[in-house]
Amino acid sequence: MRRMAWTAVLAAGLGACATAPVAGVAPLAAIDVPQDADPYFVSGAARAAQAPSSERARNVILFVGDGMGVTTVTAARIFAGQSRGVDGESYQLTMDTFPHTALSRTYSHDMQISESASTATAMTTGVKTRGGGLGLTLGAQRGQCADTEANVARTLWEMAEAQGLATGIVSTARITHATPGATYAHVVNRDWENDAVLARGGGAPCVDIARQLIEWPAGDGFEIVLGGGRANFLPNTMTDPETASVRGQRADGRDLTAEWAQRPGHAFVWNAAQFAAAPADAKVLGLFSPSHMAYEADRANDSGGEPSLADMTAAAIRRLSQDQDGYVLMVEGGRVDHAHHEGRAGKALADAVALDDAVRTALEMTSRDDTLIIVTADHSHTLSISGYAARGTPILGLSTNGEEGGLARAADGLPYTTLGYANGPGAVAQHPRPDLSEADVDDFSFQQQALVPLQSETHGGEDVPIYAWGPGDENVAGTLEQNVIFHIMARALGLKPE
């Protein structure tokens, strides 16, 4: 594929693309896509072109359940049904109702079992890259600042801004974390979320991720950004407005939240009350926690009154829908992953269900005629559902003996939970194992037992699900390389490489 194929894409309007126009959607202009010769980009575009869509989307929403592999989805489905007092096994999550599904192959350029920066970059830019880098092609080595400029991979959000579309990102993680950062940042180390960390890592003269967000040069910038991570935007001389024991992390003395708010038509909010009172037409930066937002299981006890993921999704759609040309939005359930790393399956499932609630909100607020919604994960985890438990056994409980009844017992004579991990902090280092008969195994803070002892449970390398509904959803079928997701979204918006 030659560079001209993308830089001249649709310069003549929709006639260059074999898609049906959406009323009121302007023709697309030329776009500079520096990664268009990247081998992963070329093969991904070719794969997407094998099943060209007959429809065009005005809007695209990408939902990412961080770490939400197939086992997590299955367990979350059962958990959601049982929490509502109905049969969990036959319950349907909102994402289960989507008409098109596929599997996503999540390996990165250099990792068999990958991490969130490279996997998110695959979905936002159409390339597979090295682990730890954001918005870069495979030529960039982790931590090598000098590799940045020559290896930039333009994101779908940057392309959307170039076309005059509105853009937004929502996450329950720090907004500078790997998955949301992949929509706007180009950096060789995902950990460089603020300038102090970047300096300690030898990253000069590169620019930290928080500053890249505030100084994002694409179009007229994000219309809405909601998530956690205030500390990366505040100077280390400033006390956090909500938590007196926490200070900002920046060493350059800049208050990036004030810089955002000082721009005409912009607003910064840090709690639910300010969020609700923000002008409907303002470009909003909402950072609701110094670091990650609360787990869904803990959110009701959060003194700051953090909005739910569904609330933030609704606000983003309301704001973005004011742009008649359309929008591109990412919504991340970031804390599914964090709970798994802690070995706390209950919290992971609660956050997966919260993501599904946000998906339902999006379906209710948009039309399948003009909005493509994709729900997927960046990678999986080592969670397992095992044993022969009877139908209706609490998914967070002890396994049962199926038709025989009673608790199932392992070879050591002790019961075990239906959910467990292949590795992690719940590993049993003693013999015999602790007897879980009287343990509060359905508590959200309970750590499921694991096999291999690790301080932090790891990712899993199996394929993860993709669910799609809306214009172009028929292209989500079979087993896809993860970077093809970008190309499906781009084509749905009318960006068609030849």
Widest pairwise Cα distance in the chain: 72
Average pLDDT over residues 5-34: 42
How far is residue 488 from each of residues 318, 476, 481, measured CA to CA in Å? Answer: 24, 8, 11
How far is residue 125 from each of residues 49, 159, 295, measured CA to CA in Å? Answer: 16, 10, 29
Domain contains 54? no
Helix (H, G, I), strand (E, B) or coil at 174: strand
Distance from the Cα of residue 79 to its chain's centroid = 21
Q: Is the pLDDT of residue 2 over 80?
A: no
Least confident of 164-168, 312-316, 356-360, 491-495: 491-495
Instruction: Give the model's pLDDT for residue 15.
Output: 27
Domain contains 102? yes
* Catalytic residue list contains 116: yes
Quick one: DSSP state of residue 369? T
Helix (H, G, I), strand (E, B) or coil at 318: helix
**In angstroms, rounded to a whole number, what is the distance separating the alpha carbons of residues 255 and 248?**
9
Catalytic residue among 43, 104, 116, 171: 116
The 10s digit of each residue's pLDDT in 137-191 is 999 999 999 999 999 999 999 999 999 999 999 999 999 999 999 999 999 999 9
Is the domain of 290 the same as that of 418? no
Cis before 432 (ω within 30): yes
DSSP output for 219-265: TT--SEEEEE-GGGGSBTTSB-SS-TT-B--BSS---HHHHHHTSTT
Mention every residue, 6+ apart, whose C-beta is less than 8 A from residue 96: 77, 467
User: Residue type for 250, please?
Assistant: R
Is the domain of 107 the same as that of 245? yes
Domain residue limits at 414: 399-457
Is the domain of 161 the same as that of 265? yes
Q: Is the pLDDT of residue 28 over 80?
A: no
Instruction: Give the model's pLDDT for residue 404.
Output: 78
Is the domain of 467 the same as that of 444? no
Mention every residue, 6+ apart, whose C-beta is less than 8 A from residue 233: 194, 210, 214, 248, 250, 255, 256, 257, 287
Domain contains 10? no
How far is residue 168 from each of residues 157, 160, 240, 331, measured CA to CA in Å? Answer: 8, 11, 25, 9
Is the domain of 255 the same as that of 179? yes
CATH number for the domain spanning 66: value is 3.40.720.10
The whole-chain average pLDDT of the chain stands at 92
Domain contains 109? yes
Mention every residue, 6+ apart, whose C-beta is less than 8 A from residue 104: 376, 377, 463, 464, 465, 466, 480, 481, 482, 485
Q: What's the predicted TM-score (pTM) here?
A: 0.94
Is the domain of 287 the same as that of 317? yes
Average pLDDT over residues 100-129: 98
**In angstroms, rounded to a whole number, what is the distance separating the alpha carbons of residues 459 and 42?**
28
Average pLDDT over residues 121-145: 97
Is the domain of 142 the same as that of 99? yes
Is the domain of 67 the same as that of 124? yes
* Nearest alpha-carbon partner for 97 in 354, 391, 483, 373: 373
Mention every residue, 6+ apart, whose C-beta is less than 8 A from residue 358: 63, 308, 309, 310, 312, 313, 331, 333
Domain contains 430? yes
Is the domain of 138 the same as that of 248? yes
Domain contains 32? no
Domain contains 438? yes
Q: Is the pLDDT of residue 465 over 80?
A: yes
Partner residues linked to 171 by β-bridges: 332
Is the domain of 330 the same as that of 423? no
CB 36 within 8 A of CB 468: no
Instruction: Give the model's pLDDT for residue 301.
Output: 73
Q: How many domains is the chain built from?
A: 2
Domain contains 467? yes
**In angstroms, rounded to a whole number, what is the distance separating the alpha carbons of residues 103 and 401?**
32
Least confident of 229-233, 305-309, 384-388, 461-465: 305-309
Instruction: Give the model's pLDDT for residue 130.
Output: 98
Instruction: Give the model's pLDDT for residue 353.
Output: 98
Is the domain of 407 the same as that of 260? no
CB 336 within 8 A of CB 65: yes
Instruction: Give the model's pLDDT for residue 27.
Output: 42
Average pLDDT over residues 58-81: 98
253 phi-psi bin (left φ>0, alpha ψ -120 to 50, beta other): left
The 10s digit of each residue's pLDDT in 400-441 is 998 777 999 999 999 999 999 999 999 998 888 999 999 999
Instruction: Give the model's pLDDT for residue 31.
Output: 72
Instruction: Give the model's pLDDT for residue 388.
Output: 95
Is the domain of 415 the same as that of 363? no
